Amino acid sequence: MSITDEFTKGLWQTIPPFRLVLGLCPTLAVTTSGINGMGMGLATTFVLVFSNLFVSLLRRFIPSQVRIASFIVIIASFVVIVELVMQAYFYPLFKILGIFIPLIVVNCIILGRAEAFASKNNPVASLADGLGIGLGFTISLFVLGCIRELLGSGTLLDIPVMWSGFEPFTFMLKPPGAFVALGILLAAMNLISQMQARKGGGR
Amino acid sequence: MRDIIKMIIVLTIIGAVSGLALSLVYEGTKAPIEYQTIKFVKEPAVKKVLTGYDNDPIADRKKIRIGEDERGKPVELIIFPAKKAGATFAVALEGKGKGFAGLIGVMVGVSKEGKLLDIGITSHSETPGIGARVSETFFTERFKGLTTDREITVDGISGATYSSKGVMSAVNQAIGYVNKFSKEIF
Distance from CA of B129 to the nearest CA of A (A): 6
In contact, A150 and A27? CB cutoff 8 Å: no
Chain B: residue nearest A168 by CA?
B129
Which residues of chain A make contact with B6, given a CB cutoff of 8 A? 63
Distance CA A94, CA A92 (A): 5
Which residues of chain B make contact with A70, given a CB cutoff of 8 A? 10-11, 14
Evaluate whether residue A65 is within a structural domain: yes
Evaluate whether residue B37 is within a structural domain: no
Evaluate whether residue A137 is within a structural domain: yes
Mean pLDDT of chain A: 84
Query: What band does B15 get if pLDDT is binned at 50, 70 and 90?
Result: very high
Evaluate whether residue A178 is within a structural domain: no
Question: A interface mutation test: which of B1, B25, B127 has the most A CBs within 10 A?
Answer: B25
Q: How many domains does chain A have?
A: 1
Q: Which phi and psi (to 5°) does residue B94 adopt? A: -105, 135
pLDDT of B170 higher than 60 = yes
Distance from CA of A196 to the nearest CA of B (A): 39
Distance CA A30, CA A12 (A): 22
Distance CA A116, CA A108 (A): 11
Nearest to A15 by CA among A176, A165, A142: A142
Domain containing B67 equals 48-185
Domain containing A48 equals 3-145
Residue A137: CB partners within 8 Å, gap ≥ 6? Answer: A10, A15, A16, A17, A23, A41, A44, A45, A48, A109
CATH number for the domain that contains residue B118: 3.90.1010.10
pTM passes above 0.90? no
pLDDT of A161 higher than 60 = yes
Which residues of chain A make contact with B40, given a CB cutoff of 8 A? 91-92, 95
Tell me if residue A96 falls in helix, strand or coil: helix
Distance CA B164, CA B157 (A): 6
Evaluate whether residue A76 is within a structural domain: yes
Evaluate whether residue A189 is within a structural domain: no
pLDDT of A52 higher than 50 = yes
Evaluate whether residue A185 is within a structural domain: no
Once rounded to an integer, what is the mean pLDDT over residues A180-193? 87
DSSP-based helix, strand, coil % in chain B, nearest 5: 45, 25, 30
Q: How many domains does chain B have?
A: 1
Evaluate whether residue B79 is within a structural domain: yes
Chain B: residue nearest A54 by CA?
B14
Q: What percent of chain A has pLDDT over 70?
A: 98
Question: A interface mutation test: which of B3, B4, B7 has the most A CBs within 10 A?
Answer: B7
Evaluate whether residue B43 is within a structural domain: no
Q: Helices A123-153 and A175-199: crossing angle, nearest 10°?
A: 120
Chain B: residue nearest A30 by CA?
B128
Evaluate whether residue A58 is within a structural domain: yes
CB count in 10 Å sphere of residue B157: 18
